[in-house]
């Protein structure tokens, strides 16, 4: 069933999708599709905050330098320059829309996180993402040019391939015309046409067994773009957050980096503070260093977790600044004002993604990408803490401006074929889908984690290939469903991560290989697939 064409189709309702929609709505009609409830996104769980140069003792140059250092030689300096300089404007706009950030005596409170040379993290206590998400959602609800379609799952972006033309990675003039979308309320696949489409589908943390990301983070946008033959880059750089609550049987709850910024100390099971033996910046070293140090402690000592100790900090201060962390830990029987917090690293953020230029355009005309799904060049080989919300908002704005120009001359084909599900039946063998997902996540955790080697990557490659063949088989036989499509996307993203990791014959930033422990002086190139 073909719905009427929109000027802009936005896939995803996190901060990137909402920011783009609000700007694009000044130029035409916008549909936002989102696979669950509209607030469900990585954005909604962001804790620490959003980095920006606000204080008079800070400078753009210092924020740029900190970002480039964390990025380990792979950032695009132009992209970094952009987000840093446009940061204060983004913060002002959020406040103008009604966002309430933590302040003291009328001044924004600026927190500190790893890798930052200054206090520059604007936050809403320890629930910054929720404040941003709710602020943007309120503005979207008030905008008559924007239609929000919840429980709509994008299956594929539509290109010339769906018109029966041969599209390869080398085809120069590929275009996107919208997306095939499964309405999970009705079970029907709709064709949503649009002059410009934004991928704002967020990250892919669910590729791994342990992750801070909610269930939506299955890398759908990266997988769709890859299948549509867009360029994807730097996918080996997976950021593992050093500190998530150690609870073997439940999802990994984040203990914000701001807790270390506040004075939290990492200790091993013998009570030794170990970070200064790994890096002079100790607890405030960038995440890759802290996560690897913890991994080293766990492997060397055979322990299951390390501890984050904040018991020396002021009780009232902890409860005021970290109310979510305090109350969640309490649910697990840990009173952070008295007990050390057991922590382990977990997959947190994907630095690579769908390659874009500085205006959020991908290598497919009419297809834009912003937020965690995109690889803009800002993060290089390792993202600096709290630069993600900033990048998502800045690049969503830029993508909206460039998409508004694009739609003026964009043409849609006269007809687009309906989604073809002939020859398929209702989904069989659910147990195989859930079992294959667990197997994939375990393989990725064991072999493509914080420390990698050629042997582990080859093993992961072989296992993933088998899973790919099985799941492609189901996909051909069965009607589309969200679990099946997500599994297929997780496998595609895992495959790209493994291949990218195999291509990088050095250690840099978040990619550490025991076979190539040194950082090459020559290999300052992006890993490009497609
Ligand atoms: P998201 O916010 O993840 O939104 C993606 C949207 O796409 C969702 O609405 C999802 O449902 C939808 N979607 C996905 N696939 C489909 C599909 N196939 N069809 C339809 N809809 C789809 N960054 C910081 O800078 N500071 C922080 O303090 C911080 N803390 C974090 C804490 C946690 C626990 C986590 C998980 C991340 C944190 N990050 C932080 C990272 C940051 O939150 C994310 O990178 C950022 O919010 C991504 O925004 P986004 O709009 O790109 O994607
Ligand atoms: C955190 O609060 O530690 C997360 C910050 C981030 O991911 O940038």
287 is known as an active-site residue: yes
**Contact in structure between 385 and 348 (CB atoms under 8 Å):** no
**Residue 214 burial (CB count, 10 A):** 17
**pLDDT band at residue 169 using 50, 70 and 90 as cut-offs:** confident
Average pLDDT over residues 306-329: 97
Tokens found for residue 5: 């064409």
- Name the closest ligand to CA 373: 1
> What pairing do the DSSP bridges indicate for beta strands 121-122 and 110-111?
antiparallel
Q: What is the 3-state secondary structure (H, E, C) of 429-472?
A: CHHHHHHHHHHHHHHHHHHCCCCECHHHHHHHHHHHHHHHHHHH
* Residue from 130, 206, 287, 504 carrying the catalytic annotation: 287
For the chain, domains (ranges, CATH) are 6-236+351-406 (3.50.50.60), 244-346 (3.90.700.10), 430-529 (1.20.58.100)
Ligand 2 pocket residue status of 385, Cβ below 6 Å: yes
Mean pLDDT across the chain: 96
Question: What is the per-residue pLDDT for 421?
Answer: 83
Tokens found for residue 291: 């996560």
**Contact in structure between 220 and 484 (CB atoms under 8 Å):** no
Question: What is the per-residue pLDDT for 309?
Answer: 98
Secondary structure letter of residue 380 according to DSSP: T
Task: Give me ligand 2 centre to Cα 386, in Å.
Answer: 5
Task: Give me ligand 1 centre to Cα 46, in Å.
Answer: 8
Is the pLDDT at 1 greater than 60, yes or no?
Answer: no
Question: Shortest CA distance to 368 belongs to which of 525, 201, 189?
Answer: 201
Q: What is the 3-state secondary structure (H, E, C) of 173-220?
A: CCECCEEEEEECCCCEEEEEEEEEEEECCCCCHHHCCCECCCCCCCCH
Q: Is 28 exposed, middle or buried (0-12, 13-18, 19+ CB in 10 A)?
A: middle
Q: Considering the chain, what percentage of its residues have pLDDT values greater than 70?
A: 99
Is the pLDDT at 2 greater than 60, yes or no?
Answer: no
Question: What is the per-residue pLDDT for 3?
Answer: 58
Question: What is the per-residue pLDDT for 521?
Answer: 86
Question: What is the per-residue pLDDT for 81?
Answer: 98
Question: Shortest CA distance to 370 belongs to which of 46, 145, 89, 79?
Answer: 79
Task: Give me ligand 1 centre to Cα 289, in Å.
Answer: 24
Q: Which residues pair with 349 in a beta bridge?
A: 239
Is the pLDDT at 372 greater than 70, yes or no?
Answer: yes
**pLDDT band at residue 427 using 50, 70 and 90 as cut-offs:** low
Is the pLDDT at 4 greater than 90, yes or no?
Answer: no
Q: Considering the chain, what percentage of its residues have pLDDT values greater than 90?
A: 91
Task: Give me ligand 1 centre to Cα 409, in Å.
Answer: 31
Tokens found for residue 512: 């550490």
Return the minimum-mean-pLDDT range out of 35-44, 180-189, 476-485: 476-485
Question: What is the per-residue pLDDT for 121?
Answer: 97
CA–CA distance, 73 with 50 (Å, rounded to integer): 23
Q: Is 462 exposed, middle or buried (0-12, 13-18, 19+ CB in 10 A)?
A: exposed
- How many residues can be counted in the chain? 530
Half-sphere exposure of 510 (CA within 13 A, CB side): 32
Which amino acids bring their CB within 6 angstroms of ligand 1? 11-17, 33-36, 40-43, 45-50, 128-129, 153-154, 200-203, 212-213, 216, 220, 254, 349, 371-373, 386-389, 392
Contacts of 444 (CB under 8 A, 6+ apart): 207, 208, 209, 460, 494, 497
Question: What is the per-residue pLDDT for 431?
Answer: 84
Is the pLDDT at 260 greater than 70, yes or no?
Answer: yes
Contacts of 61 (CB under 8 A, 6+ apart): none
CA–CA distance, 20 with 200 (Å, rounded to integer): 9
Question: Shortest CA distance to 370 belongs to which of 388, 348, 382, 385?
Answer: 388
Return the minimum-mean-pLDDT range out of 7-16, 428-437, 486-495: 428-437
- Name the closest ligand to CA 343: 2
> For residue 306, which phi and psi values (nearest 5 degrees)?
-110, -175
Measured from the Cα of 128, ligand 2's closest atom is 2
CA–CA distance, 474 with 436 (Å, rounded to integer): 12
Return the minimum-mean-pLDDT range out of 349-363, 376-390, 414-428: 414-428
């Amino acid at each position: 069933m073909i719905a009427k064409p929109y000027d802009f189709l936005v896939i995803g309702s996190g901060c990137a999708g909402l920011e783009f929609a609000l700007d694009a709505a000044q130029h035409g009609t916008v549909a936002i599709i989102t696979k669950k409830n509209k607030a469900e996104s990585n954005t909604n769980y962001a804790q620490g905050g959003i980095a920006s140069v606000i204080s008079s003792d800070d400078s753009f140059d210092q924020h740029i330098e900190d970002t480039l250092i964390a990025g380990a030689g792979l950032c695009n300096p132009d992209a970094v320059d952009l987000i840093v300089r446009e940061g204060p404007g983004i913060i002002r706009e959020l406040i103008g829309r009604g966002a309430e950030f933590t302040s003291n005596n009328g001044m924004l409170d600026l927190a500190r996180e790893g890798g930052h040379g200054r206090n520059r993290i604007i936050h809403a206590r320890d629930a910054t993402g929720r404040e941003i998400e709710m602020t943007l959602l309120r503005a979207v609800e008030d905008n008559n040019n924007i239609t929000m379609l919840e429980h709509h799952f994008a299956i594929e972006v539509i290109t010339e391939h769906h018109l029966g033309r041969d599209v390869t990675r080398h085809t120069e003039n590929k275009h996107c015309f919208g997306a095939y979308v499964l309405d999970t309320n009705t079970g029907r696949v709709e064709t949503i046409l649009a002059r410009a489409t934004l991928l704002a589908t967020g990250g892919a943390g669910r590729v791994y067994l342990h992750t801070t990301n909610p269930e939506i983070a299955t890398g759908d946008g990266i997988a769709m773009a890859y299948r549509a033959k867009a360029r994807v880059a730097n996918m080996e750089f997976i950021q593992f957050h050093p500190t998530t609550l150690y609870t073997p049987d439940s999802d990994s709850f984040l203990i914000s980096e701001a807790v270390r910024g506040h004075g939290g100390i990492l200790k091993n099971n013998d009570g030794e503070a170990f970070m200064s033996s790994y890096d002079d910046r100790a607890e405030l070293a960038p995440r890759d260093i802290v996560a690897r140090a913890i991994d080293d402690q766990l492997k060397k000592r055979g322990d299951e977790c390390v501890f984050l100790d904040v018991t020396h900090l002021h009780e009232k201060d902890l409860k005021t600044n970290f109310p979510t962390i305090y109350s969640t830990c309490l649910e697990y029987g840990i009173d952070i004002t008295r007990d050390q917090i057991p922590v382990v690293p977990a997959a947190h953020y994907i630095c690579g993604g769908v390659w874009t230029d500085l205006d959020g355009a991908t290598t497919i005309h009419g297809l834009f990408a912003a937020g965690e799904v995109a690889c803009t060049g800002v993060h290089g080989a390792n993202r600096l803490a709290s630069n993600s919300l900033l990048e998502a908002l800045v690049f969503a704005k830029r993508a909206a401006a460039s998409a508004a120009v694009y739609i003026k001359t964009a043409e849609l084909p006269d007809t687009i074929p309906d989604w073809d599900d002939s020859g398929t039946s209702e989904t069989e063998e659910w147990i195989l889908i859930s079992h294959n997902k667990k197997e994939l996540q375990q393989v990725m955790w064991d072999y493509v984690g914080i420390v990698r080697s050629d042997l582990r990557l080859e093993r992961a490659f072989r296992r993933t290939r088998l899973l790919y063949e099985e799941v492609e088989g189901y996909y051909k036989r069965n009607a589309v469903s969200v679990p099946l499509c997500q599994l297929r996307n997780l496998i595609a993203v895992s495959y790209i991560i493994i291949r990218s990791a195999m291509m990088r014959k050095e250690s840099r930033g978040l990619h550490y290989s025991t076979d190539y422990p040194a950082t090459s002086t020559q290999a300052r190139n992006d890993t490009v697939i497609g």
